[in-house]
Amino acid sequence: MSFTEILFYVFSAVLVVSALGVITARNPVYSALWLVFAFFNSAIIWMLLEAEFLAIILILVYVGAVMVLFLFVVMMLDIKVEELRAGFTRYAWLGLPIALLVIGEIGSVVWVKSQDDKALGLSSVASPAAYAADYSNTKALGQLLYTEYLYPLQLAASILLIAIVAAIVLTMRKRSGQKVQDIGAQISVKAKDRVRIVKVAAVQPETGNTVEGQS
Amino acid sequence: MNAVPDLIQPVFDFLNLPDWLRLVAWTVMTAVMMFLTIIIFMAFLTLAERRVIGSMQARIGPNRIRLFGLPYFRGLAQPFADVIKLMFKEIILPTGSNKFLFILAPLLTAIPALATWAVMPFWPGFTVANVDAGLLYILALTSTGVYGVILAGWASNSKYAFLGAMRAAAQVVAYEIAMGFALVGVVMAAGSLNLGQIISAQSGGISNWFFIWLFPLFIIYFISGIAETNRAPFDVVEGESEIVAGFHVDYSGMAFALFFVAEYINMILISALTSIFFLGGWLSPFAGVESLPAILTTSGLHWLVFKICFFLFCFLWFRATFPRYRYDQIMRLGWKVFIPLTLVWITVEAVLAVMKIGPFARLMAN
Amino acid sequence: MSANLNFVVAYPEIFVLTAACVILLVDLFVSDRQRIVTFLLTMVSLLAAAFITVQYGVAERVITFHGTYVADPMGTVLKLSTYGATALSLLYSREYLQRRGLFKGEYFVLALFAMLGVMVMISAASLLTIYLGVELLSLSLYGLVAFDRDNGIAAESAMKYFVLGAIASGMLLYGMSMIYGVTGTLELSQIANRIPGIGLNSLGLAFGLAFLVVGVAFKFGAVPFHMWVPDVYHGAPTAVTLFVGSAPKIASFALAMRLLVDGLGGAVEQWRPMLVVLAVLSMAIGNVVAIAQTNIKRMLAYSTISHVGFILLGVLAGTVQGYQAAMFYTLTYVLTAVGSFGVILLLSRQGFESDALDDFKGLAKKSPWFASVMAMLIFSTAGVPPFVGFTAKLAVIQAIIGIGYTWLAGVAVFFSVIGAYYYIRVVKLMYFDAPVDNGPIQAGVALRTVLSANGLAVLALGLLPGLLLDLCARVIS
């Protein structure tokens, strides 16, 4: 077993543990942190596969932005996990066989070798050769995305744009009781709108008569 | 990875180290040296801050503790006194706080702040780790720094701390986008994600520095950097006049010191990165001018340090002069001004490159 | 390079995307009172898109963008119909939206992006593009359905649509991944080439096919994957219902054609039985349940489900004649459905949706002309000659008799007869019942004129179907 393989198994094991942590943690903040940890481990595994761009982008986008907002929401909402867990055993009879089925399917893809040569198993695929030292994953991805996958890339961008537009349309609306600053109104305000200079005549303390001229 | 310099080789020979260990030992040594340098730099930055702001506000600032009792440089040992004080203070764990995360949070803030320096090019040919995607590495690490702030706020189980944490989460995510877009412009101009190559792309005189053609991005990057480090005028995360001290209100002793260290190291980092991305890093502005002394025309660490100091001074200057932004104003600036501006300028840059105008013409060469 | 990136054939998509972005930006600088500018810009863009599509239409099938984009005459015709359906539905809904405070620029942007999604599906040459087109369309539609944010029913139906749509996308993706795993390619033409080599007994192919058919059925709204249709049609603002009922139907047809015919045409024996089940169930449930409805939007939703059954009949024939019939059916159905919802919009006023069947009572006394337009549309939907719906049904039934499925033709006719009951009930309400609602029709000239033309078109196409039939025959061969 080479050093890379040992690393791979170590990080995979940690990844599986942290993934389990996501679903077993009692505190949703802990779940989110386990997920962050899982992202880090998968980034490292990607790094081992010489896909450094994907690895760093995973951290940058998911750990740096998505999970921050996730934590933001989780902390604000004060979710009671116990209540969510209440139905767990009730649906376990349905979930368990499905989980086993999926594990079996993955297992059959990874390990089982069928009779004819069209095996699905990993053994039927040669492991890819290591890249040259000057191979740049970033450059390779860029070249593929902007030539072969140009059209799908633009479509995916449109989908993201429409998601933004739809989200803003649905959430940004005039509600009563909102305290929103109107910059235009603030800038265009004149002194006379705010301050009224009133000339008040001074009053003689004893008599209560107003005094004209100097006081 | 850097080759082991000849100067150190005899020491290694004396210790009879095997070849592979020499490289490892040298890398560790450079990392430790860098770490110490930055910590000391940071320590004096705190002193500089107090003295500079003091003189801007017509007061004196720390002037008591002298270095080894020397008669001049009054107050020079103030940072060390502060460190000693903080080290001996008790770290109070508030009742009802989440102990594990409470202790973890300062570490999570300090570690990325330090780890980012690994890819920093200090002088021609020297970085601790010469990573091809160095810029992405920096972006990824700086983006994880906010976890410490959020967790600190949450784990303290205090409303003020929590408010600070929530503000930090929203603010950092907002400004990270503008920052990322500003860097897209830099990457487009340099054609590389490697910091060393970004600097070399600016070589050939001050007119090739990116701050001229990417001026809006330069300004946006630096201001976003200030917002990312939660410094004034974007310090609503701490906001001592409204939420006491924000996310670290419950921290004391070394746990507080770690937040403090991380904040100042991040300031140095942003200054260094701004110098590298827009002001040519270690390049000299007088390169090629024969009549000046050699120290001014050669590129090297001194120029990088000079530029870093300039930006650090700006940090302090802003803190002394600008009133704090309100929270919604910060959000407006980030989302509605900076992000559209960077996008527009990236488009302008692309058009310039395609039309072969300005220094970006070479981008279309290959 | 240039051979693989042929931008010219994709000019329609490029134009629509650019136009949508420009409209989004222009809308930012338009005040609420001048919002009509956005509407007019959208209309001009649709017109320009039609012009570009005709100008750069291809006579032969062209595959470009590294096998992700296909341009062919069928695509050109379908795209033109999509522009027409979008333009009609936006035209009909303008006043409705204005009266309800929904007349915002984003409405038109979402509609344009939905239309772009339809166009992408029409021109999809790979599984990847199909999926992206489906998502682009679906996301825009979710947004549109929930557009009236303060309306609880609309929000609920949008949520249902979103959840079920996500499941459908999942099914589609799962099927695609299996097909990809078996054939090793995402390109539909390559998949078609490799299917003979794999053999039809491949388990992966069968599974993938089943999931794909489920996904397609979801998007069509065919029984048993029709759950979202009545709720969405009922819950969404009528203007949105109109849109959901028009252009996306063309997209579903294109989806079926690209996936099942272009890609998996070799496995027609495999997917035909699945479509037979879907078609029979759709016709049965759609027509029978529609009888019990009291809300006309809901009734038309079930009617849609039954019509989907007919479209599927055409597709499952697996012959050129069948595809032509299905295309003819889709196009004429969209025309009729747009008109029917248009009448609902015409009758609606501020605070009055006019979506209950009872609201149609005595329409003939109030407005004889629009009662007769509605009658024409309803008769056409029911498949009564001489309206176009009859021709379409006839073409589809001829196609399935052509492959020897006479019993299926019998089933189709039987359920059409059942369906005729509830369609004709609407006519009865309009002509023989006393009016309940006496409010005037407030619609403007544009809506009245175009709606009248729409009604007459249904009649004209029924009398002279040859033109459109020829067109369908010409583009699918």
Look over chain A and give the mean of its residue pLDDT values, rounded to a whole number: 80
B75 pLDDT higher than 50? yes
Q: Tell me the mean pLDDT in the region C124-149.
A: 92
Which residues in chain A are contacts of B166 at CB distance < 8 A? Answer: 72, 75-76
Q: Tell me the mean pLDDT in the region C414-437.
A: 88
The region of weakest confidence among B24-38, B57-71, C123-137 is: B57-71
Provide the pLDDT for residue C116.
Answer: 94
Shortest CB distance from A148 goes to which of C66, C109, C135? Answer: C66
Q: Which among C100, C103, C113, C130 is the top mutation candidate for probing chain A, defined by the most A β-carbons within 10 Å of its own β-carbon?
A: C113
Closest CA to B307 of B207, B214, B206: B206
Task: Determine the 3-state secondary structure of B261 from DSSP.
Answer: helix
Which residue would you say has higher pLDDT here, A136 or C381?
A: C381
Provide the pLDDT for residue A212.
Answer: 60
Handedness of CA C15, C16, C20, C21 (dihedral sign): negative
Judged by a CB distance cut-off of 8 A, whether residue A72 touches chain B is yes
Q: Which among B97, B99, B103, B132 is the top mutation candidate for probing chain A, defined by the most A β-carbons within 10 Å of its own β-carbon?
A: B132
Look up tokens 């102990």; give the residue: B99
C326 pLDDT higher than 90? yes
Regarding chains C and B, contact by 3 or more CB pairs under 8 A is answered as no
Judged by a CB distance cut-off of 8 A, whether residue B182 touches chain A is no
Cα–Cα separations (whole angstroms), residue C31 to A122, C38, C105: 61, 10, 10
Look up tokens 């009951």; give the residue: C421
- Bridge partners for C71 per DSSP: C62
Judged by a CB distance cut-off of 8 A, whether residue B139 touches chain A is yes
The region of weakest confidence among B324-328, C235-239, C471-475 is: B324-328
Judged by a CB distance cut-off of 8 A, whether residue B102 touches chain A is no
| Per-residue pLDDT band at B366 (split at 50, 70, 90) | very low
- The rounded distance, in Å, linking the Cα atoms of C269 and B317 is 78
- The rounded distance, in Å, linking the Cα atoms of B273 and B199 is 11
> B: neighbours with 3+ CB pairs under 8 Å?
A
Asked if C110's CB is within 8 angstroms of A169's CB, the reply is yes
DSSP per residue, A143-196? HHHTTTTHHHHHHHHHHHHHHHHHHHHHH----TT-----HHHHHT--HHHH--
Q: What CATH fold (topology level) applies to the domain A1-80?
A: Four Helix Bundle (Hemerythrin (Met), subunit A) (1.20.120)
The predicted-structure confidence for A29-45, as pLDDT tens digits, reads as follows: 888 889 999 999 999 99
Cα–Cα separations (whole angstroms), residue B131 to A57, B20, B134, B308: 15, 20, 5, 22
Residue in B with minimal Cα distance to A183: B329
Asked if A149's CB is within 8 angstroms of C68's CB, the reply is yes
The predicted-structure confidence for B19-39, as pLDDT tens digits, reads as follows: 777 777 878 888 888 888 888
Q: B362 CB contacts (<8 Å, ≥6 apart)?
A: none
Closest CA to C329 of C307, C347, C360, C344: C307
Judged by a CB distance cut-off of 8 A, whether residue A165 touches chain B is no
- The rounded distance, in Å, linking the Cα atoms of B31 and B42 is 16
Q: Which two tokens stand for residue A198?
A: 């009133």
Which residue would you say has higher pLDDT here, C436 or A128?
A: C436
Asked if residue C136 lies in contact with residue A155, where contact means CB atoms within 8 angstroms, the answer is yes
| Per-residue pLDDT band at C436 (split at 50, 70, 90) | confident
Provide the pLDDT for residue C86.
Answer: 94
Asked if C5's CB is within 8 angstroms of A150's CB, the reply is yes
- The rounded distance, in Å, linking the Cα atoms of A111 and B81 is 63
The predicted-structure confidence for B114-129, as pLDDT tens digits, reads as follows: 888 888 888 777 777 7
User: How far C128 CA sits from the closest chain A CA (Å)?
Assistant: 7
The region of weakest confidence among B26-30, B86-90, C321-325 is: B26-30
B365 pLDDT higher than 70? no
Q: How many other C-beta atoms lie within 10 A of the C-beta of residue B22?
A: 18
Judged by a CB distance cut-off of 8 A, whether residue A50 touches chain B is no
Regarding chains C and A, contact by 3 or more CB pairs under 8 A is answered as yes
Q: Tell me the mean pLDDT in the region C9-19.
A: 92
User: How far B40 CA sits from the closest chain A CA (Å)?
Assistant: 29
Asked if A151's CB is within 8 angstroms of C136's CB, the reply is no
The predicted-structure confidence for C64-101, as pLDDT tens digits, reads as follows: 888 889 999 999 999 999 999 999 999 998 888 888 88
| Percent of chain C predicted with pLDDT > 70 | 99
Shortest CB distance from C146 goes to which of A149, A155, A170? Answer: A170
Provide the pLDDT for residue C1.
Answer: 39
| Alpha helices (H) in C29-126, listed in sequence order | 36-55, 73-99, 105-122
Provide the pLDDT for residue A215.
Answer: 45
- The rounded distance, in Å, linking the Cα atoms of C400 and C314 is 7
Q: Tell me the mean pLDDT in the region B306-332.
A: 88
Which residues in chain A are contacts of C126 at CB distance < 8 A? Answer: 152
Cα–Cα separations (whole angstroms), residue B51 to A113, B266, C176: 74, 20, 66
Q: Which two tokens stand for residue A60?
A: 């940058």
Judged by a CB distance cut-off of 8 A, whether residue A168 touches chain B is no
Provide the pLDDT for residue A118.
Answer: 52
Provide the pLDDT for residue A121.
Answer: 54
User: How far A102 CA sits from the closest chain C CA (Å)?
Assistant: 13
A126 pLDDT higher than 80? no
Q: C302 CB contacts (<8 Å, ≥6 apart)?
A: C229, C230, C285, C286, C287, C289, C290, C293
Residue in A with minimal Cα distance to C69: A151
Judged by a CB distance cut-off of 8 A, whether residue C32 touches chain A is no
Q: Tell me the mean pLDDT in the region C3-20.
A: 86
Domain boundaries, chain A: 1-80, 87-124, 137-172
A88 pLDDT higher than 80? no
Interface of A with C (CB under 8 A): 147-152, 154-156, 158-159, 161-163, 165-166, 168-170, 173
C2 pLDDT higher than 50? no
Shortest CB distance from A165 goes to which of C66, C68, C106? Answer: C106
> A: neighbours with 3+ CB pairs under 8 Å?
B, C
Whole-structure pTM over 0.90, yes or no? no
Judged by a CB distance cut-off of 8 A, whether residue A140 touches chain B is no
Closest CA to C348 of C5, C23, C95, C169: C95
